[in-house]
Amino acid sequence: MIMVAAWRFGIVVGNRCPLIHRYTSQVSTDENAPQVFPNRFADDLGSRSGGPDRDRCRCVGYSKATRPAAASFHEDTQNHEAEGWQHLLALIDEAAAAGHTEFAPFRRMSAAERRQIITLPSTITKLTAVTHLVLYGTNLVRLPPEIGAMTNLEVFEPYTSHRLHWYPYELTRCMKVNDSTVSTRVLYGNFKFRPPFPALRPVTHAEQADFAELDPGIWGTTAVRTCSVCDRPVDQELHQVWISRRVGTDVLPLLVNACSASCLAALPEPEQGYVPAPHTGGPDIVQPAAR
């Protein structure tokens, strides 16, 4: 039977759905009969008027046949003067002041504003009451380490944010996260077809680079101020590694920015079925076979 996707109307009609585990089905006694799966993210689309709301990328490909030989970070930098950025700052202040437990800012932004946002502000540290973070269908390319301050977070949903190929290790500080919805096919090292990780620099000393002003296309971030592991200042040397760990219900590629070799040694074991030790990425890293 031909699958008919009707995302704008919040349904998928057909006798099977690759996202069936994310939706509540109206089950028929006839296993061959069409089923309707409500799209629980329908309200998170926001306004569609005003042009495209995000950019497209194929950084990791979409299958074994299309995965690239090497991968690199997005070079985008955030425009702090953009209307979308200013709107997002205001929405964070509003949510913090009201003690909101759900934060879904992109619902209230225009398409043009959503496209302007490629990271979140460091002020998300104010969102200590938030238990449910919705980042559905965004143009984000990275999340700031300050997300680790959202320690009451329980549900993490960056679903269909297709330019988010990795996450900061600080996300593991959100220890209450028990549910996540991530588009795993766009992740570096995903188990479906194992696209490569960007190559990281070897240990770098302060005289070699200004850790407060970095090229995101090389380092994955515009600044590293504190250690992902111990939270002390990174002011002498910077050690970067990748590690794959479970956050909620998904295994994510996490970027560690550490202040020392001892902090790297303190990292936990990677998730079973992924690269078995913290690594520096690049095309020569041997990954387990795709599933």
Centre a 10 Å sphere on the Cβ of residue 269 and count the other Cβ atoms it contains.
10
More confident residue, 9 or 55: 55
- Residues 122 and 248 occupy one common structural domain: yes
Q: How far apart are CA 83 and CA 114, in angstroms?
A: 10
Q: How confident is the model at residue 6 (pLDDT cuts 50, 70, 90)?
A: very low
Kindly state the percentage of the chain with pLDDT values over 70.
83
Task: Quick: pLDDT tens for 119-159.
Answer: 999 999 999 999 999 999 999 999 999 999 999 999 999 99
Minimum mean pLDDT range among 37-46, 110-119, 243-252: 37-46
Strands 155-157 and 237-247: unpaired
Task: Quick: pLDDT tens for 117-129.
Answer: 999 999 999 999 9
Stretch 163-192: mean pLDDT, rounded?
98
Classify residue 270: in a domain, yes or no.
no
More confident residue, 58 or 168: 168
pLDDT beyond 50 at 22: no
Classify residue 71: in a domain, yes or no.
no
Query: Whole domain around residue 24: which residue ranges?
Result: 4-40
- Residues 113 and 251 occupy one common structural domain: yes
- Residues 30 and 116 occupy one common structural domain: no
Among the listed residues 275, 274, 216, 208, the one whose alpha carbon sits nearest the alpha carbon of residue 236: 208
- Enter the tokens of residue 2: 């031909």
- Residues 222 and 123 occupy one common structural domain: yes
- Residues 195 and 258 occupy one common structural domain: yes
Classify residue 32: in a domain, yes or no.
yes
Minimum mean pLDDT range among 36-50, 52-66, 254-268: 36-50
The predicted structure's pLDDT at residue 4? 37
Minimum mean pLDDT range among 14-28, 107-121, 256-270: 14-28
Classify residue 210: in a domain, yes or no.
yes
Number of structural domains (the chain) is 2
Classify residue 47: in a domain, yes or no.
no
Classify residue 166: in a domain, yes or no.
yes
- Enter the tokens of residue 230: 């111990």
Classify residue 69: in a domain, yes or no.
no
- Residues 189 and 133 occupy one common structural domain: yes
Classify residue 272: in a domain, yes or no.
no
Q: How confident is the model at residue 46 (pLDDT cuts 50, 70, 90)?
A: low
The predicted structure's pLDDT at residue 163? 98
- Residues 98 and 214 occupy one common structural domain: yes
Stretch 46-65: mean pLDDT, rounded?
83
- Residues 27 and 162 occupy one common structural domain: no
- Residues 120 and 174 occupy one common structural domain: yes
- Residues 211 and 88 occupy one common structural domain: yes
Average pLDDT, the chain: 88
First to last CA, the chain: 26
- Residues 256 and 175 occupy one common structural domain: yes
- Residues 29 and 93 occupy one common structural domain: no
Alpha helices of the chain — where are they, by DSSP H? 83-98, 111-116, 216-219, 261-265
The predicted structure's pLDDT at residue 53? 86
